[in-house]
């Protein structure tokens, strides 16, 4: 009697219970049709190829800002006349206001870009970057450098009252003849006097070349 009732209960409730369990806990194949076949295809493959996602062209690497120093003279480092002038300024500049950089070094590039100049421009007329947005060339650059030196040298900057075309005419004539009159070296002359490099912003680069 009890066995017959158990069988009747099983027939009455087994099918609905199975249907309810499938609803509550569906199989992967029921949720995503064909997923089993896809998994079988992948697991049977010999090689898997991973492709990196494309990098957006709008994402650019961060760039570290470069710190440009004021009071920097950019000059022709292979010119004997120019090098002699640099040595004179170093001796006179007891407060160490002026720094230097050879035009032939990579350290000069940011200053040239800042001033919108190229190397040929500075070979003709040396460059004095006095401060942000303030730079000078030729005779004005020389007199501005003198203005930063202590007396009596700074008094020579009063020659700025002479019209610039006249001053630059004299400067340009000497600049064109400087190699012929004073000579030219194969490399930056400061490399032969390394004790001067402490005043150069391209010191490390120059030492690496020596």
Contact 74, 113 (CB under 8 A): no
Task: Give the pLDDT score at 64.
Answer: 32
- The continuous run of DSSP H or E covering 21 comes out as helix 2-24
Higher pLDDT, 187 or 31: 187
Give the integer Cα–Cα distance in Å for 42 and 31: 19
Higher pLDDT, 17 or 63: 17
pLDDT at 14 over 70: no
Q: What is the pLDDT of residues 98-141, one digit of tens each?
A: 999 999 999 999 999 999 999 999 999 999 999 888 999 999 99
pTM of full prediction above 0.75: no
Q: What is the pLDDT of residues 163-201, one digit of tens each?
A: 999 999 999 999 999 999 999 999 999 999 999 999 999
Helix axes 138-147, 164-182, angle to 10 degrees: 90
Asked whether residue 151 is domain-assigned, the answer is yes
Task: Give the pLDDT score at 7.
Answer: 53
Structural domain boundaries, residue 130: 72-209
| Cβ partners under 8 Å of residue 90, min gap 6 | 98, 100, 196, 199
Task: Give the pLDDT score at 210.
Answer: 66
Task: Give the pLDDT score at 68.
Answer: 85
Beta strands in 58-115 (DSSP E): 72-75, 99-102
Q: Please compute the mean of the pLDDT values over residues 28-51 and round it to a whole number.
A: 42
Task: Give the pLDDT score at 38.
Answer: 45
Task: Give the pLDDT score at 116.
Answer: 94
Share of the chain above pLDDT 70, in %: 68
Question: Could you count the other beta carbons within 10 Å of the beta carbon of residue 89?
Answer: 20
Question: How many domains would you assign to the chain?
Answer: 1
Contact 74, 117 (CB under 8 A): no
Q: Please compute the mean of the pLDDT values over residues 69-94 and round it to a whole number.
A: 96
Asked whether residue 1 is domain-assigned, the answer is no
Higher pLDDT, 26 or 167: 167
Give the integer Cα–Cα distance in Å for 203 and 68: 15
Task: Give the pLDDT score at 23.
Answer: 47
Asked whether residue 46 is domain-assigned, the answer is no
Confidence of residue 208 (pLDDT cuts 50, 70, 90): confident
Give the integer Cα–Cα distance in Å for 88 and 73: 13
């Amino acid at each position: 009697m009890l066995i017959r009732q158990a069988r009747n209960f099983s027939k009455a409730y087994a099918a609905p219970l199975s249907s309810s369990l499938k609803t509550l806990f569906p199989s992967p194949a029921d949720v995503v049709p064909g997923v089993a076949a896809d998994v079988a295809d992948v697991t049977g493959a010999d090689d898997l190829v991973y492709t990196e996602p494309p990098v957006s062209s709008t994402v650019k690497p961060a760039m570290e800002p470069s710190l440009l120093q004021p009071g920097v003279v950019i000059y022709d480092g292979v010119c004997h006349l120019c090098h002699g002038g640099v040595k004179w300024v170093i001796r006179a500049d007891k407060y160490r206001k002026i720094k230097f950089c050879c035009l032939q070094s990579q350290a000069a590039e940011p200053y040239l870009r800042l001033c919108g100049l190229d190397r040929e421009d500075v070979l003709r007329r040396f460059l004095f970057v006095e401060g942000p947005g303030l730079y000078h060339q030729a005779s004005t650059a020389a007199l501005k450098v003198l203005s930063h030196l202590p007396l009596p040298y700074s008094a020579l900057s009063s020659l700025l009252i002479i019209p610039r075309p006249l001053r630059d005419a004299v400067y340009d004539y000497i600049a064109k003849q400087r190699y012929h009159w004073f000579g030219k070296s194969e490399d930056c002359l400061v490399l032969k006097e390394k004790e001067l490099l402490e005043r150069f912003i391209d010191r490390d680069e120059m030492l690496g070349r020596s």
